[in-house]
Amino acid sequence: MPRLLHAFFVATALLLATTAAHADDTQALRKAIAANQPIWVRAPLDANPKMLGNGYDDNFSEYDAAGKGHRVFAAKSTSADIDRYDVQFVQIDDAMKLKAAANFLFASAGVQANSDSRYVWIQVFHLTKVVSLVRGGAPKDAAKLVAEKVYYGSACNIIVSGSASTFTLDLAAKLKSGGGDLRQFTSKYNLDVKYLTDGLKLKPGMSVPLEQDANKIMGAFAEGKPQPIFVEFLPMQEMFTLPIEWAKAKFVPGKYKITRIDLTLADSKADGRPWDALGDLPDPMVYMYTGGKPKQGVNSLCSEASCTNLAFTRNTFKATFTPDKLIDLAEGVPLYFVVWDKDMSEHDYAGETVPTDVLKVGTPLQSIPLNVEGQLRNFSITLEPVN
């Protein structure tokens, strides 16, 4: 084994020993990795089809303690050309994935593998060829893992990391769902971002667009000769590893931005008539009341001090709004939403939500479905903490 690689293995082993001791203390459940569940690693420098069929231990080492290799299947393979641009988000949520990333990726990218940090590995790639093992007959030897495929092409590996307390499950979900500028995203949420390219050369005058958009990223580079970018391992049989827990973000009183509202209205008004003349679709308008239902009741004017006219759109049963409205959330203060079908005058009442203390039921950055009444079929809001 190359000396450098060996050093990574030792470092990872130490890290995992710490994690394991902690896990035993808390009686953490082990997580199963099924025999058909592929494990991708960034291709090592010497990756080639001859490694296919080779046995590896759960540290991804092909040598046992005595320095002996274990070939499980003969290195017989087939090659297929493909042409696939894609982005995959790998949330590092178990010790096996952490080992795979730490051994083959982190050190080259200048990322420390640390049990107090959480990591997402964004794989942006163009696959041009896959060479796959052809398993001939029964296994000739025993091993935990078998090298199954070598993927060729070019890739930009992006590693986003942060402390376990700030890089929460919800933030990872937001990272996955949101497009946009990764540098801005990571600086906003105190995350770190590093990247490592394989088979890509930056075009003159371009800088690496740290974006979630694969086309933008790949567009900044000239693709070189296709080279091995990923190696896929398969467990010989079900394996077990320790989960890495991701914290769930909690709501605390403070300032939030309403970043998104989704609502759906019934096909007709409560009396069965169409929303508008000539069967025209409704024009949903959303009023928000802080503090629950006003004592004097609601009307279509939004004249109460606690009322905000939040959103409006024309001719649709189903709407998504991005109001980006700032709101101060205090404990025990319910939010209450009323939806009207806006007309020239005398708007049609459409429905309302049950007043809800969202601090108690929801999670920041995740859609919070509220209970609905009237002709409202569903209604959800998404809130983002504002520092």
Alpha-carbon 30 to chain mean position:
22
CB of 314 to Ca ion, least distance (A): 6
Instruction: Write down the least CB distance from residue 310 to Ca ion, Å.
Output: 19
Taking phi over 0 as left and psi of -120 to 50 as alpha, with beta for the rest, 79 belongs to beta
Q: Site residues (CB under 5 A) for Ca ion?
A: 275-276, 280, 283, 315, 341, 343, 348
Give the nearest distance from C-beta 270 to Ca ion in angstroms: 12
Helix (H) / strand (E) containing 148: strand 145-163
Q: Which is nearer to Ca ion, 227 or 316 (CB)?
A: 316
3-state DSSP assignment of residue 214: helix
Tokens of 356: 């809800």
Instruction: Please identify, using beta-carbon distances, which residue of 119 and 275 lies nearer to Ca ion.
Output: 275
Give the other-Cβ count within 10 Å of 162's Cβ.
20
In the chain, count H helices and then E strands.
7, 21
Residue 366: is it exposed, middle or buried by C-beta count within 10 angstroms (0-12/13-18/19+)? middle
CB 287 to Ca ion: min, Å: 16
| Residue 354 Cβ vs Ca ion, minimum distance, rounded to whole Å | 24
Distances (CA, A) of 49 to 35, 38, 43, 100, 145: 21, 17, 11, 19, 16
Query: Given the complex with Ca ion, which of 63 and 349 has the nearer CB atom?
Result: 349
Closer residue to Ca ion (CB): 275 or 287? 275
Comparing CB distances to Ca ion, the nearer of 315 and 322 is: 315
Name which of 64 and 280 has its Cβ closer to Ca ion. Answer: 280
Phi, psi angles (nearest 5°) of residue 77: -145, 165
CB of 261 to Ca ion, least distance (A): 19
* Separation between Cα atoms, residue 286 and residue 340, nearest integer Å: 7
Q: Residue with structure tokens 């398969």?
A: 234
Residues in a beta bridge with 384: 257
Kindly state the smallest distance separating residue 260's Cβ from Ca ion, in Å. Answer: 23
Separation of alpha carbons 95 and 39, rounded Å: 12
Q: Which is nearer to Ca ion, 313 or 378 (CB)?
A: 313
Listed in sequence order, the residues at least 6 apart from 160 whose beta carbon sits closer than 8 Å to its beta carbon are 119, 120, 122, 167, 175, 182, 186, 191, 192, 193
Supply the minimum distance, in Å, between the C-beta of residue 299 and Ca ion. 16
Question: Of 58 and 348, which has the nearer Cβ to Ca ion?
Answer: 348
